[in-house]
Amino acid sequence: MDEDTSSKKFPVSNFTSYKMTYSRPVMKQYNELLGILGRFTQHKMNFDEVIQVSCIIDKLPPSWNDLKHTLKHQKEELTLIELGSHLLIWSLCVGPLDLLGFYSLLKIELGGYRLFSVFGLQNSY
Protein backbone atom coordinates (compact mmCIF):
# COMPACT_ATOMS: atom_id res chain seq x y z
CA MET A 1 0.00 0.00 0.00
CA ASP A 2 1.47 3.35 -0.93
CA GLU A 3 1.79 6.23 1.50
CA ASP A 4 -0.91 8.35 -0.19
CA THR A 5 -3.53 5.60 0.11
CA SER A 6 -2.65 5.10 3.76
CA SER A 7 -2.87 8.85 4.53
CA LYS A 8 -6.33 9.02 2.92
CA LYS A 9 -7.68 6.43 5.35
CA PHE A 10 -7.06 8.59 8.42
CA PRO A 11 -9.50 11.42 7.60
CA VAL A 12 -12.17 8.88 6.63
CA SER A 13 -11.66 6.96 9.86
CA ASN A 14 -11.56 10.17 11.93
CA PHE A 15 -14.81 11.41 10.39
CA THR A 16 -16.76 8.15 10.61
CA SER A 17 -15.71 7.41 14.18
CA TYR A 18 -16.22 10.98 15.50
CA LYS A 19 -18.86 11.14 18.22
CA MET A 20 -20.37 14.42 19.35
CA THR A 21 -21.10 14.73 23.06
CA TYR A 22 -23.22 17.08 25.12
CA SER A 23 -20.33 17.71 27.52
CA ARG A 24 -18.47 19.89 24.99
CA PRO A 25 -19.77 22.87 23.01
CA VAL A 26 -21.42 21.63 19.82
CA MET A 27 -19.97 24.49 17.75
CA LYS A 28 -16.44 23.48 18.80
CA GLN A 29 -17.17 19.90 17.76
CA TYR A 30 -18.73 21.12 14.49
CA ASN A 31 -15.55 23.07 13.71
CA GLU A 32 -13.46 19.97 14.47
CA LEU A 33 -15.57 18.02 11.96
CA LEU A 34 -15.07 20.78 9.38
CA GLY A 35 -11.32 20.45 9.94
CA ILE A 36 -11.52 16.72 9.28
CA LEU A 37 -13.58 17.37 6.14
CA GLY A 38 -10.93 19.88 5.05
CA ARG A 39 -8.41 17.04 5.00
CA PHE A 40 -10.63 15.29 2.45
CA THR A 41 -10.07 18.24 0.12
CA GLN A 42 -6.33 18.20 0.86
CA HIS A 43 -6.17 14.60 -0.36
CA LYS A 44 -8.41 15.38 -3.37
CA MET A 45 -11.17 13.12 -2.07
CA ASN A 46 -14.67 14.18 -3.10
CA PHE A 47 -17.41 13.93 -0.51
CA ASP A 48 -20.78 15.39 -1.51
CA GLU A 49 -21.85 18.29 0.72
CA VAL A 50 -25.38 16.92 1.14
CA ILE A 51 -23.91 13.70 2.56
CA GLN A 52 -21.53 15.70 4.79
CA VAL A 53 -24.44 17.70 6.23
CA SER A 54 -26.55 14.58 6.76
CA CYS A 55 -23.68 12.79 8.53
CA ILE A 56 -23.04 15.75 10.85
CA ILE A 57 -26.74 15.97 11.70
CA ASP A 58 -26.66 12.26 12.57
CA LYS A 59 -23.68 12.88 14.87
CA LEU A 60 -25.50 15.50 17.00
CA PRO A 61 -25.78 14.49 20.66
CA PRO A 62 -29.02 12.83 21.85
CA SER A 63 -30.03 15.98 23.72
CA TRP A 64 -30.31 17.72 20.33
CA ASN A 65 -32.89 15.28 18.96
CA ASP A 66 -35.54 17.97 18.39
CA LEU A 67 -33.25 19.99 16.14
CA LYS A 68 -31.92 16.82 14.49
CA HIS A 69 -35.47 15.74 13.63
CA THR A 70 -36.39 19.17 12.27
CA LEU A 71 -33.28 19.48 10.11
CA LYS A 72 -33.64 15.98 8.68
CA HIS A 73 -37.24 16.65 7.62
CA GLN A 74 -36.69 19.99 5.90
CA LYS A 75 -37.69 20.05 2.26
CA GLU A 76 -34.64 21.93 1.00
CA GLU A 77 -31.06 20.71 1.27
CA LEU A 78 -28.76 22.51 3.70
CA THR A 79 -25.21 23.62 3.03
CA LEU A 80 -22.51 23.28 5.68
CA ILE A 81 -22.74 27.03 6.31
CA GLU A 82 -26.51 26.89 6.81
CA LEU A 83 -26.11 23.92 9.15
CA GLY A 84 -23.53 25.87 11.12
CA SER A 85 -25.99 28.78 11.42
CA HIS A 86 -28.73 26.49 12.74
CA LEU A 87 -26.33 24.92 15.25
CA LEU A 88 -25.14 28.34 16.42
CA ILE A 89 -28.68 29.65 16.89
CA TRP A 90 -29.71 26.49 18.73
CA SER A 91 -26.64 26.52 20.98
CA LEU A 92 -27.10 30.20 21.88
CA CYS A 93 -30.88 30.21 22.31
CA VAL A 94 -32.16 26.77 23.20
CA GLY A 95 -29.01 25.26 24.71
CA PRO A 96 -28.97 27.53 27.79
CA LEU A 97 -32.71 26.98 28.29
CA ASP A 98 -32.12 23.24 28.13
CA LEU A 99 -29.34 23.39 30.73
CA LEU A 100 -31.62 25.26 33.10
CA GLY A 101 -34.52 22.90 32.48
CA PHE A 102 -36.68 25.60 30.90
CA TYR A 103 -36.66 24.26 27.36
CA SER A 104 -39.03 21.40 28.23
CA LEU A 105 -41.45 23.82 29.87
CA LEU A 106 -41.24 26.28 26.98
CA LYS A 107 -41.78 23.48 24.47
CA ILE A 108 -44.94 22.38 26.29
CA GLU A 109 -46.21 25.95 26.66
CA LEU A 110 -45.70 26.74 22.98
CA GLY A 111 -47.45 23.57 21.88
CA GLY A 112 -44.46 21.44 21.05
CA TYR A 113 -42.70 22.15 17.82
CA ARG A 114 -43.99 25.67 17.29
CA LEU A 115 -40.84 26.67 19.17
CA PHE A 116 -38.81 26.08 16.01
CA SER A 117 -40.58 28.89 14.17
CA VAL A 118 -39.50 31.25 16.97
CA PHE A 119 -35.91 30.53 15.97
CA GLY A 120 -36.52 30.77 12.21
CA LEU A 121 -36.64 27.04 11.57
CA GLN A 122 -39.44 25.43 9.63
CA ASN A 123 -40.86 22.14 10.77
CA SER A 124 -42.68 19.66 8.58
CA TYR A 125 -45.72 19.12 10.80
pLDDT digits (tens, 9 = 90+) for 68-106: 988 988 888 999 999 999 998 888 776 655 554 444 444
Give the three-state DSSP class for 39.
Answer: helix
Please classify residue 53 by burial: count the beta carbons closer than 10 Å to its beta carbon, then call 0-12 exposed, 13-18 middle and 19+ buried.
buried
**Domain spans, the chain:** 3-118
What was the pLDDT predicted at 3?
56
Q: Are 110 and 97 in contact (CB under 8 A)?
A: no
pLDDT digits (tens, 9 = 90+) for 27-74: 999 999 999 999 888 888 888 999 999 999 999 988 788 889 889 888
Mean pLDDT of the chain: 77
Q: What is the pTM of this model?
A: 0.72
DSSP string, 46-107: ---HHHHHHHHHHHS-GGGHHHHHHHHT-SSPPPHHHHHHHHHHHHHHHHHHHHHTHHHHHH
